[in-house]
Amino acid sequence: MAAVSNAPPRHVAIVMDGNGRWAQRRHLPRIAGHKKGVDALKRVVKLCVARGIGVLTVFAFSSENWNRPEEEVSGLMELLALALAREVKPLAEEGVRLRFIGDRNNLSQRLKDGLSQAEQATASNERLLLNVCFNYGGRWDVVQAARQLADTGQEITESALSSMLATAHCGDPDLLIRTGGEMRLSNFLLWQAAYAELFFSATLWPDFDEADLDAAIQAFGARERRFGLTSAQLLTGAAG
Ligand code: IPE
Ligand code: IPE
Ligand code: MG
């Protein structure tokens, strides 16, 4: 049988985990790890542009992360504000379109304005779509989609529900990477990851580099994506 060789993933999603441990190993405050995490994201965005990946969706702050110590939560809010002030322009210059995904209700007015401005300023860019999931949870997403669907009175089907999800503009991820060694989704893209290829990397997110990304893309290339079919069906292209 021929070795599997998939085209590179169109849509890559990443749970950027391990910032806290990266800092603690260096006897630094956890927020220092989150700052390095922003640098890692900038690096990975550039690599994705270079690799021709169309969509990158990253998990930056979960619905459950509010339960962390007050100091860490406020530090993360500050870091988002700082990144909005500093990084939108260079990202726009690289052709990146930014979208923020998640519940904005609990965010400060300043942050809400910053997110909308960043989206507007980059709306016409087409090189890479970068979805930043902030105050996002997969369960929140399914519930908000179900609510919208109920309001429209439409028939409840998989495609109707998908069209109301926060990722309706970009579809489902092909490859989902989690860094930091944990092997769980932690409430990320629960519906959308139904057929994503999963890749777990032991590298802590601030250290995630070109070799780590390429290892994930290479592993993806060798996976047989069967979507419920048999290998024989895939080979002959005769489904059903
Ligand atoms: C991921 O890194 C970033 C956020 C959840 C905001 P962590 O802060 O979870 O890092 P670890 O898992 O504690 O090392
Ligand atoms: C998932 O990481 C959320 C983000 C990376 C933003 P967590 O560190 O919050 O996940 P758990 O708590 O280890 O499951
Ligand atoms: Mg973590």
Domains of the chain from N-terminus onward: 11-239 (3.40.1180.10)
What pLDDT shows up at residue 1? 47
Residues 30, 31, 36, CA angle at the centre, nearest 5°?
Answer: 100
Instruction: Kindly state the tokens that stand for 119.
Output: 């989206």
Residues 173, 126, 205, CA angle at the centre, nearest 5°?
Answer: 45
Whether the per-residue pLDDT at 4 is higher than 90: the answer is no
Whether the per-residue pLDDT at 58 is higher than 70: the answer is yes
| pLDDT digits 0-9 by tens, 108-157 | 999 999 999 999 999 999 999 999 999 999 999 999 999 999 999 999 99
* Distance between Cα 181 and ligand 3 center (Å): 9
What number of other Cβ atoms are within 10 A of residue 7's Cβ? 9
Q: What is the mean pLDDT of the chain?
A: 97
Whether the per-residue pLDDT at 70 is higher than 80: the answer is yes
221: left (phi over 0), alpha (psi -120 to 50) or beta: alpha
Whether the per-residue pLDDT at 2 is higher than 70: the answer is no
> Across residues 205-229, what is the average pLDDT?
98
Please state, in angstroms and rounded to a whole number, the distance separating the CA atoms of residues 163 and 169.
Answer: 8
Ligand 2 binding site (Cβ under 6 Å of any ligand atom): 15-17, 59-62, 65, 182, 184, 186
Which H or E run includes 216? helix 210-221
| pLDDT digits 0-9 by tens, 87-109 | 999 999 999 999 999 999 999 99
What pLDDT shows up at residue 239? 73
Question: Which residue has the CA at smallest separation from atom 12 of ligand 2?
Answer: 186
| Helices 109-122 and 70-93, axial angle in degrees (round to 10) | 20
Question: Which residue has the CA at smallest separation from atom 11 of ligand 2?
Answer: 186
Q: Are 42 and 87 in contact (CB under 8 A)?
A: yes
Which H or E run includes 121? helix 109-122
User: Which ligand has the minimum distance to the alpha carbon of residue 183?
Assistant: 2
Closest CA to 214 of 181, 185, 180, 175: 175
Say if pTM beats, i.e. exceeds, 0.95: yes
